[in-house]
Amino acid sequence: MANLLKNRETQLAAVIVLMLVLIAFVNPDFIAPSNLLSVYTESSILIILALAQMLVVLTRCIDLSVAANVALTGMVVAMINSQYPELTLPLVIAAGVVLGTLLGMINGLMVWKLGIPAIVVTLGTMSIYRGIVFLISNGEWVNSHEMSLAFINTPRTEIFGVQGFAIISLLIIAAIYIFTEKRPLGREMYAAGNSPTAAFYTGIDVGRTQFWAFTISGMLSGLCGYLWISRYAVAYVDVALGFELQVVAACVIGGVSIMGGIGTVLGCVLGALFLGVINNALPVIGISPFWQMAISGSVIVIAVIANSRAERKVGRIILRKATLARG
Amino acid sequence: MALKKLLATAIVTATMTTAGIANAADTRVGLVVKALGIGFFEAAAEGAQEAAKELGDVEVIYTGPTTTTAEGQIEVINSLIAQKVDAIAVSANDQDALVPILKKAQQRGIKVMSWDSGVAPDGRQVHLNPSSNALIGEMNIKLASDAVKATGSDSGEIAILSATPTATNQNIWIEEMKKVLPNYAGLTLVDTVYGDDLADKSYREAVALMKNHPNLKAIVAPTTVGILAAAQAVQDEGKIGQVYVTGLGLPSELAGHVDSGAIKSFAIWNPIDLGYSATMISYNLVKGNASDSEVGMGRMGTAKLDADGSAAMAEPFIYDASNVHKFAEIF
């Protein structure tokens, strides 16, 4: 089974390389190392949010409120920064991360303690969080000249030619990798999603695991709230509107099973990069905007079909083993 | 919010006090805005006062509800009718809801016009639009031409960054831009792209424009999200001075990018001129100095009225480093 999953990631990597080759025929500059790096930088936020989403999806839940969380924490950090420019940046970012974590905990608690399906909870909080953005800002924007230079430029700082956005995402990838592979809680998330009943009998509190998945998702969304606002240097109500769909799509393309229990950090990152390449390549190769929408949509559908086929195989194997064991 | 209400009450009280000491012979114009405490309308009121000062025998009663509702405006207009003002100039919160009360005002001999946000023709005599599609299109190309000149050449490539491909007003403006393009021999329109009014997509489209067209001199974005994202992209790509961003946007949103140098100049209507013109038109309506086809607007020239009685004030007003910070505090 490990082999099969590995296979899937190499397949996805191969598809990305093939795509880059095809794009290079139309626009050779696109595969210049500097441009590939900027494509990665541009995909950083998507990668972080996709990893956060993966943890939630692993536990058989879904977090649709991530983009609204980004918008709300982003607006809050932007407003704090514009009102109190003398506050140091780490404090401002910490405020965003703490707020994001709390928002995630609200989702988690409702799923854990009230037993409401995650899709319903987060569909609701998505609207609530987005609504609060409007309430606290009165619909007004926070613009670049109202933000401090440190606020906007710190994630743009380059270390060995790599921007802060990219470095932060690399650190998060490493952290989530260690978490899912080495930490008990990370392993429990796989177990809880793979078979909640079995997990229960091994002493795992499935609801509690889901709560922590939502909490981490909220925490990373809070971080991304700051990153997003500093990236585009403007905070308004519609920040990241509809972005949750891209995040879920990145997970699905990366082979994370929407039924829970299956998914790897590498696959998820590749899924996000796949969308990142498409997002950045389509404008460069000059395709009509209507085709762009159709192409993005088709790619997601194709990925889901590939996914479900792969999962069906996995399912059969398990089933056969189970019958064998019983017989 | 509480402060806003307090401020609004203060303004209402202030206007009432001035109304009390007004000369009976003065022409009294009620300038009704969508809501009090909005920078844009405060600026329009400033323009109205300028017109009153210029005319001498006009008193402007600046008023409006505390929230942007048609009900609030109806109350305000009712009280203006009771005060027997000579004219009402309104920026409506609802095109149709104000018609009955404004009809009543007209029956009492009050001249009624709308400005900025219109009232259906039944309810008013004249409507003053801040600008027209043709003027907006022309202005965008003129700004692009200025931007190209700012890079130090007489001719160059420009591109348009719009909102969604289906946005009606955007498409009309792009059409109008293409119509006047032949008048600017040096300009070549190389691309029109769509950022969907999303910051991230607009940003990527702007980066792609610069990559696909290394000789690009100006990006024209007649949409606020687009112009902001493009300006940030130009800055991040280190293209300041080589590529200028221009188009339509609000001074408060763009002041930072004018400072950074990514934007040389941009345009939007000037609320001061709008309040000034509305007051001038109201005055001329009261004095009977208006025909069915035109009415004077003082220093802003003459408004040409179409069959519906609507007119365009002027081409959008240009903002640059010299005035953007002053207006950034207004709207």
ipTM of the complex: 0.75
**Chain A: closest CA distance from residue B329 (Å):** 12
Question: Distance (Å, rounded) from C-alpha B78 to C-alpha B76?
Answer: 5
Measured in whole angstroms, how far is the alpha carbon of residue A192 from the centre of its chain? Answer: 20
The span from the CA of B44 to the CA of B30, in Å, is: 13
Q: State the Cα–Cα distance between residues B107 and B89, nearest whole angstrom.
A: 16
The predicted-structure confidence for B28-82, as pLDDT tens digits, reads as follows 999 999 888 777 888 899 999 999 999 999 999 999 988 788 899 999 999 999 9
Give the pTM: 0.79
Q: What is the rounded average pLDDT of the residues B162-187?
A: 90
How many whole angstroms from its chain centre is CA B299? 17
Q: Sort strands A162-163 and A158-159 into parallel, antiparallel or unpaired.
A: antiparallel
B255–A145: do the CB atoms touch at under 8 Å? yes
Instruction: Enter the DSSP assignment of B248.
Output: B
- % of chain A exceeding 90 in pLDDT: 64
Distance of CA A286 to the CA centre of its chain: 27
For A185, the token pair is 């809680």
Cα A32 from Cα B301, distance rounded (Å): 56
Task: Report how far residue A51's alpha carbon sits from residue A266's, in angstroms, rounded to the nearest whole number.
Answer: 10
Q: Which residues does chain B have within 8 Å of residue A241's beta carbon, measured at their own beta carbons?
A: 198
CA angle A284, B163, B208 (to 5 degrees): 15
CATH class of domain segment(s) B2-131+270-314 = alpha beta
Interface of chain B against chain A, CB under 8 Å? 165, 191, 193-194, 197-201, 203-205, 207-209, 211-212, 225, 228-229, 232, 236, 252-257, 259-260, 328
Residues of A in contact with B327 (CB under 8 A): none
Note the pLDDT tens digit of each residue in B287-325: 998 888 889 999 999 999 998 888 999 889 999 999 999
The C-alpha atoms of residue A30 and residue B165 are separated, in whole angstroms, by 25
Residue ranges of domains in chain B: 2-131+270-314, 133-267
CB contact under 8 A, B256 and A156: no
**CA-based torsion, B131, B132, B137, B138: positive or negative:** negative
Helix (H) or strand (E) holding B11: helix B2-20
Q: Let me know: does B95 contact B38? Beta carbons within 8 Å.
A: no
Question: Rounded to an integer, what distance in angstroms lies between the CA atom of residue A156 and that of residue A159?
Answer: 10
- In CATH terms, are B2-131+270-314 and B133-267 the same topology? yes
Which residue of chain A is at minimal alpha-carbon distance from B165?
A289
Q: Please state the three-class secondary structure of chain A as a single string.
A: CHHHHHHHHHHHHHHHHHHHHHHHHHCHHHHCHHHHHHHHHHHHHHHHHHHHHHHHHHCCCCCCCHHHHHHHHHHHHHHHHHHCCCCCHHHHHHHHHHHHHHHHHHHHHHHHHCCCCHHHHHHHHHHHHHHHHHHHHCCCCEEHHHCCHHHHHHHHCEECCEEHHHHHHHHHHHHHHHHHHHCHHHHHHHHHHHCHHHHHHCCCCHHHHHHHHHHHHHHHHHHHHHHHHHHHCEECCCCCCCHHHHHHHHHHHCCCCCCCCCCCHHHHHHHHHHHHHHHHHHHHCCCCHHHHHHHHHHHHHHHHHHHHHHHHHHHHHHHHHHHHHHC
Question: In angstroms, what separates the C-alpha of A275 from chain B's closest C-alpha?
Answer: 13
CB contact under 8 A, B255 and A234: no
- Chain B's closest residue to A163, CA to CA, is B236
Instruction: Identify all chain B residues contacting A42, using CB atoms and an 8 Å cutoff.
Output: 204
SS3 B77: helix
Residue A6 has pLDDT above 90, yes or no: no
| Cβ <8 Å between A283 and B236 | no
- Domain residues for the domain of A190 are 2-326
Token duo for residue B257: 């990018």
| Residue reference for tokens 């990006």 | B219
Q: Which of A139-148, A242-251, B225-234 has the lowest mean pLDDT?
A: A139-148
User: What CATH number has the domain bearing residue A225?
Assistant: 1.10.3470
Do residues A217 and A56 lie in contact, with contact meaning Cβ atoms separated by under 8 Å?
Answer: yes
Q: Nearest C-alpha of chain B: how many angstroms from A277?
A: 11
Q: Quote the percentage of chain B above a pLDDT of 90.
A: 66
Name the DSSP class of B132.
-
d(CA A152, CA A289): 30
- C-beta atoms surrounding B134 within 10 Å: 16
* Arithmetic mean of pLDDT, A125-142: 90
Mutant choice from B40, B203, B204, B232 vs A, greatest count of A C-beta within 10 A: B204
CATH homologous superfamily, domain B133-267: Response regulator (3.40.50.2300)
Cβ density class A79-101: b for 16+ within 10 Å, e for less: bbbbeeeeeebeebbebbbebbb
Take residue A107 and report the two structure tokens written for it: 């989702």
pLDDT digits (tens, 9 = 90+) for A48-77: 999 999 999 999 999 999 999 999 999 999
